[in-house]
Every structure is written in C-alpha cells, then in structure tokens.
Amino acid sequence: EPEVTQTPSHQVTQMGQEVILRCVPISNHLYFYWYRQILGQKVEFLVSFYNNEISEKSEIFDDQFSVERPDGSNFTLKIRSTKLEDSAMYFCASSVLGRAYEQFFGPGTRLTVL
Amino acid sequence: TQLLEQSPQFLSIQEGENLTVYCNSSSVFSSLQWYRQEPGEGPVLLVTVVTGGEVKKLKRLTFQFGDARKDSSLHITAAQPGDTGLYLCAGALSSNYQLIWGAGTKLIIKP
C-alpha cells in the first residue's frame, strides 16, 4: 500500500541553523501539507501546497519557514534559522484531488533544536 | 478560533467492555476524520465521515457524524488490548483543507 515517507526520522540541530525536512508524498496525490506536533500538544497545521504554490498557511508559518517541491516526488520544509521552540515532530501529509480533507500522514521527523 | 474538544482525555477499561469517545465543536465541518496515533509515529487515518448523520463501521469500531456536522463519536464494541492507542479526531472546514485537531483520547485496554 502506498505511503508517505519522511526523512530524516530525527534531526538534531543548533539554534540558528537551517534545516530541511524532506517528504515523498503518495505518488498520485496532488495536495501536500506540513503539520507539527510539539510534545504533549495538539497537532497544528502549518501549510498546504497545491499546483506548485502555497494554498494556505497558519500564523506559525512565518518568514522563517518555506516549502518547495523541487522535483516530481519530493516536498520539503525549510526552517531558515531554527529556534528552541521549533523543536517538535513535523508531519508531512498528502491527499488526492476531490478529497483533499482525507489526508494521509508520514511517520514524522523529530526535530530537536539545542 | 475553531476548536475540537475530545472527551474523555484518558480511558482505561477491561478487555471486552464497550466504550465511546466524543469529539465536539461549535463549528460546522465539511468532513471529520478519525486517526489513531502510536507514540513517535504519524497519525493513521481510520475513517472519514462527510454527511450529517453518517454512520460508518470498521469491524468493531463505529463512527458517527452528528446531524449538524459539529460533532462525532467513535464507539468500540468488545474492546481488545490491540485497540490501545491515542485516538484523534480532526475536522476540515468547508473554506479550506487544513485540519483542526482534537487533543486526543488515550485509550488503554487491559487484558
């Protein structure tokens, strides 16, 4: 069964460094998302992406964040200058046209900012 | 601010018992998803309900969407230890496709 994959599974970085989290969505999906979950808290929406542009973004997704689909398979989230409070699980999700609400999630990347 | 309130937050019951988890909001959702999440892993989609009053069954799990599309419930019949996990509801607003998440119900089924 096709699934969303994410790399790395765990990323440790120093405050102020740039990180890139990578995702490979399910191949026939057209909508892509990033969510995050701080330990012990709710899952939070960051951004949605369709047709090579951002569809929607939350207040969390400020100028330090960017997304890109550099090729036909990868979808990346870049954090330019990480802060301690960026430490969280970051989940990528994807969905098909016509059922965008039915989102399938990857296993997540645990980001630890020291 | 749209909120999804899940209850109970925590439930520990014996194998074989029945249970119901609730997800409530003052907002109307175009759809509502139920996910299950294991520690350190991503949410796994269990079901999507779209129509007010809709009922879907997945083996011993029954999902219902409220008539007004503001609430949903998950009922498990004859719970088994394998049902242990964190159950999350997530609603999609009609205006966009971002999911609004509940805080989850941590379910423990004791053998």
Strands A10-13 and A109-113: parallel
CB atoms within 10 A of CB A1: 4
pLDDT tier at B109 (50, 70, 90 boundaries)? very high
CB spacing of B48 vs A102 below 8 angstroms: yes
Q: If contacts are CB pairs under 8 Å, which of residues 4-23 in chain B contact chain A?
A: none
CB atoms within 10 A of CB A54: 12
Q: Tell which phi-psi region holds residue B9, choosing left (phi > 0), alpha (psi between -120 and 50) or beta.
A: alpha
pLDDT above 90 coverage of chain B, percent: 89
Size of chain A, expressed as the number of residues it contains = 114
- The token pair at B14 is 């014996």
Size of interface A-B (CB pairs under 8 A): 64
CB spacing of A107 vs B41 below 8 angstroms: yes
**Res B93: pLDDT:** 83
Contact assessment for residue A110 and residue A10, using Cβ atoms and an 8 Å cutoff: yes
CB spacing of B96 vs A56 below 8 angstroms: yes
Cα separation, B23 vs A4, whole angstroms: 26
**Res B95: pLDDT:** 67
**Res B1: pLDDT:** 60
Cis geometry, peptide bond prior to residue A8 (ω within 30 degrees of 0): yes
Q: Which amino acid is at A54?
A: I
Phi, psi of B66 (to 5 degrees): -65, 155
Mean pLDDT of B29-33: 94
pLDDT tier at A72 (50, 70, 90 boundaries)? confident
**Res A11: pLDDT:** 97
- The token pair at A66 is 């960017």
User: Average pLDDT of chain B?
Assistant: 94
Shortest Cα distance from B73 to chain A (angstroms)?
Answer: 18
Interchain CB contact of A100 with B (< 8 Å): yes
pLDDT higher for B58 or B93?
A: B58
Interchain CB contact of A44 with B (< 8 Å): yes
Beta strands in chain B (DSSP E): 5-7, 10-14, 19-24, 31-37, 44-49, 55-58, 61-65, 71-76, 85-92, 99-101, 105-110
Shortest Cα distance from B63 to chain A (angstroms)?
Answer: 15
Cβ neighbours of B41 in A, within 8 Å = 107-108
Mean pLDDT of B51-78: 97
